[in-house]
Structure 1
Amino acid sequence: MRKVNHLKKYSIYAVMLGGLIFTGCSDDDTPEVENEEEVITDVTLVFTNDDDPSDVVTARAEDPDGAGLQELTILDEINLGLNKSYTLTLQIENNLNSPGEDITEEVEEESDEHQFFFSFTDGAFANPTGDGNIDNAADPLNYNDEDANGNPVGLSTAWTTAANALSAGSFSLKLQHLPDIKSSTSEATDGDTDIALTFVLNIN
């Protein structure tokens, strides 16, 4: 039985090699690449105080060469007030060309294939409690948005800071691309990672 399996394997390899040679000679029939990854050069976190919309805290990450050797680099720390409620929205852009491209809109349009996960210093927030849902998707997280199937997205989330000051804590987010596999139990390790960032978090 093993010999048969090996023969099948070698036959498959031969067919694959033949297919590669054939397609190499026919440029006109080359299929288009589907689900091509988007280039992301700028990510901005915007925390807006629910009780005072003029109180806005932003934190940015930038990758000036897009798909080049550099990665997204953190530019700012997150500085929030004690015992305040914020709505966090995310802005994702590709600014390699002018005008830039709004990747946020694409994530919204493909919300059934994307989900943000978050982690943070344990106890930094009164709501959600704990340390986020990157390590365990079932842990508390306040999503304000969902896809057509009722599953969370994470372009908008709700946060209430704790009453105790925090210095040099951490706040992380991950955007997972989950084509054809996103569900109510999707984890931060499923699919492919489009964005992974960790900011310094201060609350005072």
Structure 2
Amino acid sequence: MKTINFFKKYSLVALLASGCLFTSCDKDEVVPEEENELEVITDVKLVFTNTADGTDVVTATAQDPDGPGLKDLEIKDAINLGVGKTYLLTYEIMNNLEEPGEDIGEEIAGEADEHQFFFGFTNNAFSNPEGNGNIDNASDAINYKDEDNNRNPVGLTTEWTTSATAVSAGEFRVVLKHQPGVKTSTSGFNDGDTDFDLKFVLNIQ
């Protein structure tokens, strides 16, 4: 009986050890995760075009010559708009680390179901949309002029009518969110990752 128990005991130990070995091998197998890389962006230009006068164009830029290095995008200009005017806001978004430069705006348009722009601004700086933007509340009004295949807003084109009251040293914040597998009709600023987050000085005179 003792001999049988001895073999039973050590047979069980061997079986457990081999099981651990197989389990260990399974754990060592690394399953590659799906990558959702952020865009490499070195230059962002906001282009405000007066809808009543296409020659009235206001631009503001941010630059990061080293790309994903030590520096972030740095604001180069204030946004200076006219009182009581309506503007279409579009962008030039580039990765100029590439030669020739890569148009990231085209990439965003091609992946519209993974991207959305969110906005924050000095309260009532605009008569349309009113309020202070949709960063704090995704359902707040923004005049998006484009949408993805799911009919959710993107923001490569938006419309803005400035207040009849002058604004000095206000703020205009624009945030591009990267939301693969996350973007829905109710997703907001806190969902996904941030491609860029820019705060411009806003003057309306």
**What residue in structure 2 maps to residue 102 of structure 1?**
103
- The count of aligned residue pairs is 185
Q: Does 1:19 align with 2:20?
A: no
Query: Relative to 1, partners in 2 of residues 1:104 and 1:16: Cα closer, same or farther, differing over 3 Å?
Result: farther
Superposed displacement of residue 15, structure 1: 5.5
SS at match of 1:145: coil
Query: Relative to 1, partners in 2 of residues 1:90 and 1:19: Cα closer, same or farther, differing over 3 Å?
Result: same
**What residue in structure 1 maps to residue 7 of structure 2?**
none
Superposed displacement of residue 32, structure 1: 9.5
**What residue in structure 2 maps to residue 141 of structure 1?**
142
SS at match of 2:197: strand
CA RMSD of the aligned region, Å? 2.1
The one-letter code sitting in structure 2 at the alignment partner of 1:83 is G
Superposed displacement of residue 98, structure 1: 2.1
Rounded to whole Å, the distance in 2 between the matches of 1:117 and 1:63 is 21
TM-score, normalised via structure 1 length: 0.85
Provide, for residues 88-142 of structure 1, a one-character-per-residue CA deviation record: whole Å limited to 9, x for no partner: 0011100013210000000000000100000100010000000000000011100
Rounded to whole Å, the distance in 1 between the matches of 2:147 and 2:79 is 25
Instruction: Note if contact 2:85-2:161 (Cα within 8 Å) is conserved in structure 1.
Output: yes
The structure whose Rg is larger is 2
Superposed displacement of residue 180, structure 1: 1.1
Rounded to whole Å, the distance in 2 between the matches of 1:153 and 1:162 is 24
Rounded to whole Å, the distance in 2 between the matches of 1:56 and 1:74 is 18
Counterparts in 2 of 1:52-201, with a 5 A limit?
Answer: 52-201=53-202
Report sequence identity in percent. Answer: 61
The one-letter code sitting in structure 1 at the alignment partner of 2:108 is V
Rounded to whole Å, the distance in 2 between the matches of 1:63 and 1:99 is 17
Larger CA deviation: 35-44 vs 150-159: 35-44
Superposed displacement of residue 17, structure 1: 5.9
Provide, for residues 130-157 of structure 1, a one-character-per-residue CA deviation record: whole Å limited to 9, x for no partner: 0000000011100000001100000000
Provide, for residues 5-49 of structure 1, a one-character-per-residue CA deviation record: whole Å limited to 9, x for no partner: xxxxx99x95676336xx9xxxxxxx6973333210001100000
**What residue in structure 1 maps to residue 4 of structure 2?**
none
Rounded to whole Å, the distance in 2 between the matches of 1:136 and 1:15 is 48
The one-letter code sitting in structure 2 at the alignment partner of 1:54 is T
Runs (4+) of structure 1 exceeding 2 A deviation are 13-20, 31-38
Give structure 2 stretches of 5+ with no counterpart.
Answer: 1-19
Provide, for residues 163-193 of structure 1, a one-character-per-residue CA deviation record: whole Å limited to 9, x for no partner: 0000000000111111111111111010111
Rounded to whole Å, the distance in 2 between the matches of 1:160 and 1:49 is 10
Rounded to whole Å, the distance in 2 between the matches of 1:84 and 1:55 is 10
Rounded to whole Å, the distance in 2 between the matches of 1:103 and 1:189 is 22
Rounded to whole Å, the distance in 2 between the matches of 1:16 and 1:61 is 48
SS at match of 2:145: coil
Instruction: Note if contact 2:113-2:150 (Cα within 8 Å) is conserved in structure 1.
Output: yes
SS at match of 1:105: helix
